[in-house]
Structure 1
């Protein structure tokens, strides 16, 4: 019994059961016996064909005649003249890009393959076989070309291609001997692909499938292909856009053989979609770096020693290193070039490293307040006057008040040095120091010295006044009347300083009182803190600008690269 007969018996039983159900449920008057009689007659006829004349069925007879061993040999190229080349036509359909493995540099594609050729040995007259024009046979029953993917990673062909059946169409109606064979099969190819990740993640890749016979040159098998791969059934990939998929035919001459070899190269041009890497890597990295830079160079109060900023820099460096390792795992190991995204992370790491180092420098400057020494005049003028124009920081009110009280603003430092009067006709007098001795201020060498510090009250404002005096040295030339008048005047001057004080250097005395005014610890702390704040602001602007420039430069290079690829594709077309 054949399988078809068994199926027929099952079908007959189900039909009888269905008729019985209709009769009892709906009361339909159905002549079951008549129906069964017809089925029985058909069964007898089918049994008579399957049992006695099965070998005479047209398609069975055609298959036996075509594959008869004395007529057809699957091991021999199906041509009547062995010197004539057999043409193989290949068409391809891309169904899916399964995977692009950057570290291993290979690509995995789901393809639908079709190979067509003319088999002169599969010849029959359709009129002799009930006008059968085509027939489907197992692929193992006929000869097939040894078409192979040269750059396949998987060597076993059975692991990449699923061979099933072939379709054979007679060409007798066209007056040709033999038949056209269509060999259709799905395949999953894993092929090598040299990935150029120089502009990762904006790169465009060109992966090539090299197709040809493994043992036959052009004199035996001559390959031809459709110019483009069919993309109508392509499932869109989330990471890659297919720009083009074309097939090129080449003939190569090798030293081993006299005849050239026909090579088909299917060139798949695809471009990576960068949105995933922008959203998940580049932009978060830039934000983390900006936050870290802001933390580095945020001004601190005098009670804060800023040591946590060093820890912030080290932590950020570790985070950048981990992100860079994640990116490196997705790229091939190469020393020919550095990928664009690697340059990006390297730049960010350098920025954070320099920022961490300069944070320690600012820390060291800020700690100078504990030594009780004011910044030098050039440093005060440079930072408070010149650099602060760019930092745009407001002077702290307390520090500004101290500068006003002491007449010690940094912008007037060099003006005073140039315009300070050196005339010995003026001397300095303090109304708050109303009674003091010569020995309280000067020593025997006419040098400034505080012998009795109690005579000076540092909490009071120091006000300087300038008095004119006349020095009369020619006593012998004056008459006795003038001498008596001068003596009376000298007696009335209670607060006039001794002639020896008048000979002191006026500049030294002025500096002495100013040092008393501005020498407080509060002024020292405020000035060093203000210098550190100015440095923080300048470094924040500098490094923040660097991060923004690097980030937008990364995006701009991507746009330029894509424009370049578009122009290149237009030229190739």
Structure 2
């Protein structure tokens, strides 16, 4: 047992001999950096030894989600992680002097922080979460992270909606420092930022991130330096195709098919009006989605208005054709009545008048000859009217009906050609 006791004693001596000293603790390092007490110089002044030297601030932005794109208010809501890196020339040390310490976390309020903000930011202050500590490296490089539910303004181009691709800028710049005081740059390149964002992105909604682009603008003695992150994202159009484009195309096909409905049944006009009302409902839904500030109508709005216009013209044409057919029937009925009236009068006169020389002839048989003659005359009159009606049906001009049929045929051809050309134009513009 004596060897074990000896080893235990040596271990206790070793532990006691390796007690932390001021050179191997964070406290000693912070004391060396003069960060154990409040130092107003470190928080108030830009940390450079030569004031003519600009401070380089490196910005990296990662997208963890595209939450919402509001077309009416022209805003984009994203979940972003922003990493800012700059150098403090007064906070550096040699790691070998402090037992190899190569990184230390210090409070955010104890050092100077660049006043870099986002110009397009429209979110409230509660949506920004700054890390309470900063990471400090031996060379004096400070690194801070910010997590933000960013709502930024973006000029959306909805001309090709819903097959549109949007490019939104997120611009970083200093609010109080010019380009000779603070310069902006990026630590990671745009391809790496895009790949990391696509890998860790949680949600994209109806949008798909294509790429992140970085643009630098050098500042002047008056203007601040600018760093622009351009987000290029493409909309997923499947939902809008199912809700708008396919139903409108189906309504057009139904309207074309309605030309084969017989006008005599009276269902053609009511069917076309129903189709027109259905298109107006889709127009009201589209109005709530798209902004009213567009100078030019988006393609889907042109599509809806064009379909509404051609179906509306089709309804007017159906009303005109129905009117002409009814007018033709009314004119034929009036002519038939006008032609039948003299015959009726003549038959009645013949029925009640006696023929010449009736006094010299023998009297009719004693079986009520007046009633028998009246029946014969009525039968003759009925047969004559029926023959005349058939003659009029076969030989009447029917000018208005032929005019209605000609109008319907010409309009159908023009309707089909114009609708096909319009849909082809939309497909070419969209695709």
Could you say whether these structures have the same fold, taking a TM-score greater than 0.5 normalized by the shorter chain as the test? yes
Residue 231 (str. 1) matches residue 188 (str. 2): no
> TM-score, normalising length from structure 2?
0.74
**Counterparts of 1:364 and 1:123, CA distance in 2:** 94
CA deviation vs aligned residue, 1:97-139 (integer Å, no higher than 9, x gap)? 1111111101112222221111112122323322212112333
> TM-score, normalising length from structure 1?
0.57
Cα contact 1:297–1:536 (8 A) shared by 2: no
Q: Secondary structure at the match of 2:304?
A: helix
**Counterparts of 1:516 and 1:359, CA distance in 2:** 29
- Could you say if the C-alpha distance between residues 533 and 297 of structure 1 is closer, same or farther in structure 2, counting changes exceeding 3 Å? farther
Q: Secondary structure at the match of 1:261?
A: coil
| Count of matched residue positions in the alignment of Structure 1 and Structure 2 | 371
Alignment match of 1:129 (pick from 81, 98, 101): 98
Task: Quote the RMSD (CA, aligned, Å).
Answer: 3.8
- Could you say if the C-alpha distance between residues 524 and 152 of structure 1 is closer, same or farther in structure 2, counting changes exceeding 3 Å? farther
- What's the counterpart of residue 249 of structure 1? 216
Unaligned runs of 5+ in 1: 1-33, 172-178, 375-453, 462-514, 560-573
- Could you say if the C-alpha distance between residues 133 and 365 of structure 1 is closer, same or farther in structure 2, counting changes exceeding 3 Å? same
Alignment match of 1:371 (pick from 321, 324, 330): 330
- What's the counterpart of residue 429 of structure 2? 557
Residue 341 (str. 1) matches residue 214 (str. 2): no
**Counterparts of 2:110 and 2:299, CA distance in 1:** 54
Residue 120 (str. 1) matches residue 55 (str. 2): no
The residue correspondences of 1:16-35 to structure 2 (distance < 5 A) are none
- What's the counterpart of residue 169 of structure 1? 137
How far does residue 526 in structure 1 lie from its aligned partner after superposition? 8.7
- What's the counterpart of residue 111 of structure 1? 80
Unaligned runs of 5+ in 2: 334-379
Residue 58 (str. 1) matches residue 25 (str. 2): yes
Alignment match of 1:73 (pick from 42, 62, 72): 42
How far does residue 540 in structure 1 lie from its aligned partner after superposition? 4.1
Cα contact 1:207–1:268 (8 A) shared by 2: yes
CA deviation vs aligned residue, 1:472-497 (integer Å, no higher than 9, x gap)? xxxxxxxxxxxxxxxxxxxxxxxxxx
How far does residue 86 in structure 1 lie from its aligned partner after superposition? 0.8
- Could you say if the C-alpha distance between residues 185 and 141 of structure 1 is closer, same or farther in structure 2, counting changes exceeding 3 Å? same
- Could you say if the C-alpha distance between residues 269 and 115 of structure 1 is closer, same or farther in structure 2, counting changes exceeding 3 Å? same
How far does residue 544 in structure 1 lie from its aligned partner after superposition? 4.2
CA deviation vs aligned residue, 1:179-233 (integer Å, no higher than 9, x gap)? 1222233222211101111222233322111111111112221111255261223
Residue 99 (str. 1) matches residue 68 (str. 2): yes
**Counterparts of 2:110 and 2:164, CA distance in 1:** 46
Cα contact 1:282–1:551 (8 A) shared by 2: no
**Counterparts of 1:56 and 1:244, CA distance in 2:** 47
Residue 315 (str. 1) matches residue 315 (str. 2): no
- Could you say if the C-alpha distance between residues 517 and 188 of structure 1 is closer, same or farther in structure 2, counting changes exceeding 3 Å? closer
Cα contact 2:317–2:408 (8 A) shared by 1: no
Residue 187 (str. 1) matches residue 148 (str. 2): yes
Cα contact 2:127–2:150 (8 A) shared by 1: no
The residue correspondences of 1:51-450 to structure 2 (distance < 5 A) are 58-66=25-33, 67-69=35-37, 73-154=42-123, 156=125, 159-171=127-139, 179-225=140-186, 226-228=188-190, 230-233=193-196, 234=198, 235=201, 237-251=204-218, 258-295=221-258, 298-301=261-264, 304=265, 306=266, 308-373=267-332
Cα contact 2:92–2:137 (8 A) shared by 1: no
- Could you say if the C-alpha distance between residues 70 and 94 of structure 1 is closer, same or farther in structure 2, counting changes exceeding 3 Å? closer
Cα contact 2:66–2:79 (8 A) shared by 1: yes
